[in-house]
A and B are shown apart, each in its own frame.
Chain A
Amino acid sequence: MRALVWNGINKLTVESVDDPKILNSHDAIVKVTRTAACGSDLHLLAGYVPTMRAGDVIGHEFIGEIVEVGSGVTKRKVGDRVAVSSFISCGKCFYCRTEQYSLCDNTDPNPDIPEALWGAAPGGCFGYSHALGGWAGSHAEYIRVPHIDVGSFVIPDGVSDDRAVFASDAAPTGWMGADLAGVKPGDVVVVWGAGAVGQMAARASMLLGAERVIVIDRFDYRLRQVRDVIGAETLDYTKTSVLAELKELTGGRGPDVCIEAVGMEAHSARPDFAYDMVKQQLRMQTDRPTAVREAIMACRKGGSVFVLGVFGGLVDKFPLGAVMNKGLTLRGAQVHGPRYIPMLLERMQRGELVTEHFATHVMPLEEAPRGYELFKHKQDDCVRPVFVP
């Protein structure tokens, strides 16, 4: 089959690779019909995720049709049109039973790598380096999905492929940020980052009853989507002082909930950005925490900060004093897909959750390297490239 392969920093090629096989009884083979590039894939591309191997098939956001199932599969069958969770979960361990699916104990075959990095191993993720399992990704014609009964959900009739594909990763990630940050009716919520995940966090906050939702970014075409499609307010951080503006907008309090949806390659107009950029480029720190820092500083006393952006390692000049003295709640997580995907698919069917506008560039898999170029350099108003194998 054909697949998009990572061959080194900023080197992607479409190659012929072996077809996936059923290896465990709970596996299924899914024929991929849509697969989206995710902002966190750009970290792989840029070489910020160290346990990549030349030859790895990437991609973790996808939908498809089941074409083969293992003998232990009971809930899904050949022919089902499914959205698949980007993280892989066994459904049986303590973490899966308590709906913390991305923390699954049983789906990373290389637990020693994350244990050395983070002290414990989260679950495996498709196409996301050998630290998260070394699983082949979804930018391919076919993909093997372990524990298909747990991680896949039948897409309701009437939900288009271009809408449903974002039920795999972007929508549950954004929803989880709003949910686990504890957004309540009446809250003022600020989201850093107007990519697909940031927009989904904003939409989720609105549906959870937030009174006011503001999204911060610097790209006008993304901010326009936030206003026109999501219906939230926007701020361009290159044109205003974010901290002063947020104080003014929130009666001097600061937002109740701050959601960071930017990750380790953050940008900012503030001087600490240059500091972080230099440190990261010199490999003295692994991540740029610019947006996280700003979220912590902006948040009201007793408020809640949620880190949705992907971080890999260590940061410095972290405002720990603000966390402690302002009584903040600070959380983060990789996406607990199965906890949210069925509900999100229903909302997609009812039209409450619209996502197809992210798919600004739908193209054949053979053109995926060009799609990643557009996405990486934010050319041609690209929000997400989506590949059709």
Chain B
Amino acid sequence: MSKTVNRSLAVVLATAGGLTAQRLWKLHEQRNPAAQGKDTAGSLRWNVVTIQAPHELSVDAELPDPLRRLSSKVEVRFRPAPGDRGVELAARPREGFEDEGLRREIREALRDSKQLIETGEILRILPRPEGARPATPTGAIVDLAERIGKKGGVL
């Protein structure tokens, strides 16, 4: 998870929720060791989602669009999930492409691929009915958090 993304997230939650950003960030670090940047294998780590889909899904199958767009830069792996949980779809940057920006693209592509396979489409949120949105600092942070809503997280 990108530190900048998460720090801004921490600020959103902290300013409006009242915790100090530092406290919240600390907490987040305790819960997600990977966020501490101490994960030495970080650049090689797979990001993974589990998809309710037949086990026959394999690397030979056509990649879902969101991942195919990245396929020159990422490696993709499928494997059956335990029990009745479907298939684990994993992706990671190919050697030479290990940067956080790509990591964020991968998270979004995995989440979108899962939605496409499970529900047939990617759920859109915008445009939505909304009142006047005054330019406030907390508002700007929530807007930012929403713009990058699928690129972060612990996936």
Instruction: Give A19-64 interface residues, CB cut-off 8 Å to B.
Output: 19-21, 23-26, 47-57
Q: B77 an interface residue at 8 Å Cβ cutoff?
A: no
Closest CB in chain A relative to B18 CB, distance in Å: 3
B:92-132 near A, CB below 8 Å: 111, 114-115, 118-121, 123-132
Q: Does A134 contact B (CB under 8 A)?
A: yes
**What B residues does A116 contact at CB under 8 A?**
6, 9-10, 13, 28, 32, 152-154
The interface residues of chain B lying within 8 Å CB-to-CB of A93 are 52, 118
Contact with B142, one of A18, A53, A313 (Cβ below 8 angstroms) = A53
Residues in B whose Cβ lies below 8 Å from that of A1: 129
* Complex Cα spacing A57 to B151, Å: 25
Query: Given that A26-B119, A47-B16, A50-B17 are known contacts, is A110 also in contact with B145, CB under 8 Å in the complex?
Result: yes
Q: How many residues of A contact B (CB 8 A)?
A: 62
- The 8 Å CB contact of B130, one of A17, A112, A133, is A17
Cβ-neighbour of A94 out of B52, B125, B126, B132 (below 8 A):
B52
Contact A140 B129 (CB under 8 A): yes
- Asked if A144 is at the interface of the complex by the 8 Å CB criterion, the answer is yes
Q: A25: which of B12, B50, B121, B154 is its contact (CB, 8 Å)? A: B121
Contact A146 B123 (CB under 8 A): yes
CA of A49 to CA of B142, assembled, Å: 12
Residues of B within 8 A of A5 (CB): 130-132
B interface SS class: loop
Within 8 Å of chain B (Cβ to Cβ): is A121? Answer: yes
- Contact between chains at A106 and B134 (CB < 8 Å): no
Let me know if B133 is at the binding interface, CB within 8 A. yes
Contact B142 A106 (CB under 8 A): no
Contact B31 A112 (CB under 8 A): no
In the complex, the answer to whether B134 meets A113 with C-beta atoms within 8 Å is: no
A294 to B145, CA, bound (A): 37
Report yes or no: B12 in contact with A111, Cβ–Cβ below 8 A. no
Known contacts A55-B130, A134-B128; A112 and B152 CB within 8 A of each other? yes
Specify which of A21, A90, A119, A144 is in contact with B154 (CB 8 Å cutoff): A119
Given contacts A56-B130, A110-B149, A112-B150, contact A283 B12 (CB under 8 A): no
Provide the residues of chain A in CB contact with B133, threshold 8 Å.
53-55
Residue of A nearest to B111 (CB): A111
A332 in the interface (beta carbon within 8 A): no
User: Considering only CB atoms, which chain B residue lies closest to A146 in the complex?
Assistant: B123
Closest to B152 in A: A112
- Asked, given contacts A54-B133, A117-B13, whether A134 binds B154 with beta carbons under 8 Å apart, the answer is no
A111 touches B153 (CB 8 A): yes
**A286 and B146 within 8 A (CB):** no
Complex Cα distance A147/B52, Å? 17
Give me the interface of B with A, judged by CB distance under 8 Å: 1, 5-6, 9-10, 12-20, 27-28, 31-32, 50, 52, 85-86, 111, 114-115, 118-121, 123-134, 136, 139, 142-143, 145-146, 148-155
- Beyond A7-B131, A19-B129, 7 additional contacts (C-beta under 8 Å) are A21-B127, A93-B52, A109-B125, A109-B149, A111-B149, A111-B153, A113-B13
Please list the 7 inter-chain residue pairs (A to B) with the smallest Cβ-Cβ separation, ordered nearest first. Answer: A283-B18, A50-B17, A110-B149, A112-B152, A5-B131, A115-B153, A112-B153
